[in-house]
Amino acid sequence: MDVAATMLDLAKRARKASRLMAGADPAAKKNALTILAGLLAEEPAEVYQANARDMDAAAAAGLDAPRLDRLRLTPAVMAAMAAACREVAGMPDPVGGIEALKKRENGLLVGRMRVPLGVVCMIYESRPNVTIDAAILCLMAGNAVILKGGSEALESNKALAGLMRTALARAGLPGDAACLVETADRAAVGALCRLDQYIDVMIPRGGEGLIRAVTEQAAMPVLKHYKGVCHAYLDADVNEDQALAVVLNAKAQRPGVCNALECLLVHADRAASFLPRVAETLGRAGVRFRACPRSLPLLGERAVPAADEDFGYEFHDLILAVKVVDSMDEALAHIAENGSNHTEVILTQNHDRAMAFLRLADASMVGVNCSTRFNDGGELGLGAEIGISTSKLHAYGPMGVTELTGAKFVVLGQGQVRG
């Protein structure tokens, strides 16, 4: 098989479909997603059979337990995908909406209209549910999408893509609006990255290595986040009971995800009272600590001295870096040096410092007295998400339907000419 030629044909078909999707009736898009929800809710045997083949092959290849868990399609996962379809279908269609229409002195009305991005190419690893989440958001935003999942989920993705094509056909929309790359050949990614004539944007979702590889090869814009190094700063003026519950949730609920807490910064005035409680409570949840010299004596036997590289590191594990700081300014300086523009949180009862932290912490989501785990499209009201962008152009944070559109200027006149 000529991979480059196959990818070129795929991209051309997606480009043709994107022109049809840009003018699609909003009711047809909503209908396609509703039909897809029904197909997923029926839990078709062929999807489970395909997933079982992937699971068997992955286990034989020695895939570790966390990645096997992400690969597995259960009734709960299928139900969640169906729910996401229904939620996105129920959202307002952003395409064609005109924002901020203003009248100029010469009588012209100038505004910005939401328009589809065109062809989105999504490259991702492991989790087959991303196939559905990415597709429904792109389709609702009037785009066509090319889906390149990991080789370990190829059979599952084929089965899910088949359901999508069925739903699109029943709704009168082009099946090529959701194209799956049906090869495990790694050359496919490089070939897609060169097709900027047909593909408008690349969105890699996975490990840092995958994202850097796509970014380095892509001839078109890339929406990306390299890693999630998330901090929580515990201020001197804090409710410790509330803060302890937040820190426990942020670190221990799902330590392997990008919005899990990786570093706790504690004001020196609270270190002696708060850190032993952290050691006890998080220690019971299995958390170990990489501690700065000031925090080490306060964290007990589960703590070891932190190395320089532990600050700014994404552990993906029940490991938490801890550092004592003397002020919020020192905490913000640490975040600026070691953060990844993903998620930063302050735990405080001081309104002025909370508002200052919101302004000064540079991240796609900044929170006050809440878990870092809320940086998620579903939790922030986007329905599903195609990923969390830590780039500042064109989207910053979780990307839902609106973030998968752009804006063009529209001008409404009555015969005006420029002098």
3-state secondary structure 15-39: HHHHHHHHCCCHHHHHHHHHHHHHH
Q: What does the alpha-carbon distance between residue 353 and residue 351 come to, in Å, rounded to a whole number? A: 6
In 190-330, DSSP assigns E strands to 201-205, 230-234, 261-267, 288-291, 303-305, 319-325
Looking up tokens 């895939």 gives 63
20: nearest Cα among 95, 121, 99: 95
Q: What does the alpha-carbon distance between residue 13 and residue 192 come to, in Å, rounded to a whole number? A: 13
The phi, psi pair for 106, rounded to 5°, reads: -85, 5
The DSSP output letter for 222 is B
- Domains of the chain (ranges; CATH) run 3-95+116-222 (3.40.605.10), 230-374 (3.40.309.10)
How many residues does this entry show for the chain?
419
Looking up tokens 């998330």 gives 230
Q: What does the alpha-carbon distance between residue 274 and residue 334 come to, in Å, rounded to a whole number? A: 20
Contact 330, 358 (CB under 8 A): no
Instruction: Output the CA torsion 395→203→166→20 (10° steps).
Output: 60
Report CA 336 to chain centroid distance, whole Å.
Answer: 21
Q: What does the alpha-carbon distance between residue 314 and residue 170 come to, in Å, rounded to a whole number? A: 44
pLDDT value at position 254?
A: 93
372: nearest Cα among 347, 390, 348, 408: 347
pLDDT value at position 414?
A: 96
End-to-end CA distance of the chain: 59
Max Cα-Cα span within the chain:
78
316: left (phi over 0), alpha (psi -120 to 50) or beta: left
Cα–Cα separations (whole angstroms), residue 308 to 25, 290, 323, 330: 55, 10, 11, 16
Contact 271, 308 (CB under 8 A): no
pLDDT value at position 1?
A: 65
pLDDT value at position 81?
A: 94
pLDDT value at position 145?
A: 98
pLDDT digits over 198-248, tens only? 999 999 988 888 899 999 999 999 998 778 999 999 999 999 999 999 999
The DSSP output letter for 94 is -
- Please report the sign of the dihedral spanned by the C-alpha atoms of residue 282, residue 286, residue 289, residue 295: positive
Q: What does the alpha-carbon distance between residue 80 and residue 45 come to, in Å, rounded to a whole number? A: 17
Low-confidence ranges of the chain (pLDDT < 50): none
pLDDT value at position 138?
A: 96
315: nearest Cα among 227, 409, 248: 227
Q: What does the alpha-carbon distance between residue 311 and residue 255 come to, in Å, rounded to a whole number? A: 16
Structure tokens given for 84: 């996401």
The per-residue b/e assignment along 256-281, b for 16 or more CB within 10 angstroms, e otherwise, is: eebbbbbbbbbbeebbeebbeebbee
187: nearest Cα among 12, 8, 4: 4
